[in-house]
Amino acid sequence: MFDITEEFAKQLDAQDPLKGYKDEFYIKANQIYMDGNSLGLMSKRAEQSVLNVMNAWKKYGIDGWTQGDYPWFYLSENLGEKAAPLVGAKPEEVVVTGSTTTNLHQLVATFYQPKGKRTKILADELNFPSDIYALKSQIKLHGLDPDEHLIRVKSRDGRSLDEEDIIAAMGDDIALVVLPTVLYRSGQLLDIERLTKAAHERDILIGWDGCHSVGAIPHQFHEVGADFAFWCHYKYVNNGPGGVAGLFVHERHFDTEPKLAGWFGSDKQKQFDMEHDFTPAESAGAFQIGTPHVLSVAPLIGSLELFNEVGIEAIRQKSLNATSYLMYLVDELLSEYGFTIGNPRDDEHRGGHVCLEHKEAASICKALKDHHIIPDFRAPNVIRLAPVAFYVSYHDVYQTVMTIKDIMENQTYKQYKNERDIIA
C-alpha cells in the first residue's frame, strides 16, 4: 500500500481531495505542525470571523445582541446547530458554551444523583486529570469519599483500556459512567456504542469526554443514546486557545432541570422577564450558565464553515490514511532506534494521533522543535504526532519521520535534557 520514497509522499498529496485546505491556515514558513491534537492552528476564516464580531460590537454596541450577521443572544445555540453534525446530534441537543471542565461539572452535578446502593462514579485510570479532579469534587459535594466512590478501571498495559474490564466494572453500585472517547496519551478509540449500550442495560447513565476526538472522528451520540457528552473546540476544531467548549444532552433529558442554573440557560422568550423562578430552555441550551464569551467563541464561526464544507467523514478518511502512513514509516525507518507505536493499529480503535514511544521522548521533542517540527510530549515517554487532515500533508509526515531518523542517527537529541518544559 505504501512505500518509503519521497516521491510516493508527493503522489499521495497530489491525490488528496483536501490538499487545498492547507492554504486556509496560518503556518510558519518551513514549519510542520504536528500538535493539532493539543492546539489547532488559526484559519483565515476564523480570523475573519473574529474581526466580523468585533466590527459588530463597534457598529452596534449593545444592539449586537440582536443585530448583525451573528446576533450574540442566539450565538451559542446557532453554533451548537452547526457543530451538531460533528457529533451526530440533533441541532437542539448541542450548545456551544463554557469550558470542558465547567461543562463536566454542570453535567455531573445534574446527572450524578447517588441514592440507595448506587452511589459510585465509574471512570478510568488513564483519563485526563481535569476530569478526575471534577469527578472527585462532585462526589465530595454529596458528602462522600472519592477514594470509595470513584472507581477507576485499571489498564492492563499502562496505555490502553480493555472494554471487557470496563463493562465488568459496571456493577449495581454505579450511578454514573464518565469515559473518554479517545485516550489522550495512546489515542485509543473506545467503542462508544457498545459501552453506552452496556451501561444502559444495567440502568446506568453514561457521558463521554470528546476532547480528543471531536473534529477528527465522526460520532453518533444521538443514535447510540449517550446521555451526555462534552468537549473542547481548541484542538481539532481550531477555535483558538481557551476557545469556548461544547456539550451534548440527549433530547430524552430535556425535562431534567440543570442543577447549576444560570440565566443564559433560560427559555429565551422569558430570559429578560427577570423572574426569580428559573424556566429552563427546552434544549441543551438549558445547560448554559453565564453570558456567552462572545469574543472567545467568534473563531468557531469561521472554523465550522470549513467543517461543514468538507464533512467530518472526509476528514476522518484523511486522518486514517495519514496515521496509517505515519505508522508505516515508523516501522520501516525508526524501529532500529528503539521506537515503538503505543496506539491501536486498527482503524476502528485508533484516534487522530500516533503515540510514538521512546525512552528519550522529551529530548527528541525538543530536537524536533529546533528542526521546525512541532510535536507534543506526554510523560513519561510519549511523542504524540497528529497529522491533522486540514493542514498536514503526506509530505509533512514523510519529512517528520526523516527528521526523527536524522536526529537519532546523529544523536542530536543528546544535546537536550530528557525532561519536560513547564508546558509539555
Residue 130 assigned to a binding site: yes
DSSP letter for each residue of 48-71:
HHHHHHHHHHHHHGGGGGTSSSS-
Residue 230 assigned to a binding site: no
Residue 399 half-sphere exposure toward CB, CA atoms < 13 A: 18
Contact between 417 and 363 (Cβ < 8 Å) = yes
Helix (H/G/I), strand (E/B), else coil: 349:
helix
Cell digits of residue 163: 472494554
Closest CA to 57 of 46, 75, 71: 71
Q: Which residues contact 135 (CB under 8 A, 6 or more apart)?
A: 104, 108, 121, 123, 146, 150, 178
DSSP letter for each residue of 116-154:
TTB-EEEEETTS-HHHHHHHHHHHHHTT--HHHHEEEEP
Closest CA to 150 of 163, 129, 159: 129
Residue 191 assigned to a binding site: no
Residue 101 assigned to a binding site: yes
Residue at grid coordinates 443514535: 223
Sheet harboring 340-341: ordered strands across? 340-341, 354-357, 382-385, 376-378
Residue 307 assigned to a binding site: no
Q: Name the DSSP class of 185.
A: T
Residue 74 assigned to a binding site: no
Query: How far is C-alpha 412 from the chain's CA centre?
Result: 33
Residue 76 assigned to a binding site: no
Residue 128 assigned to a binding site: yes
Looking at the DSSP bridge assignments, the partners of residue 341 are 356
Cell digits of residue 41: 492552528
Residue 129 assigned to a binding site: yes
Q: 79 to each of 29, 289, 404, how far by Cα in Å?
A: 32, 16, 40
Annotated binding-site residue numbers for pyridoxal 5'-phosphate: 100-101, 128-131, 209, 212, 234, 263, 291
Annotated binding-site residue numbers: 100-101, 128-131, 209, 212, 234, 263, 291
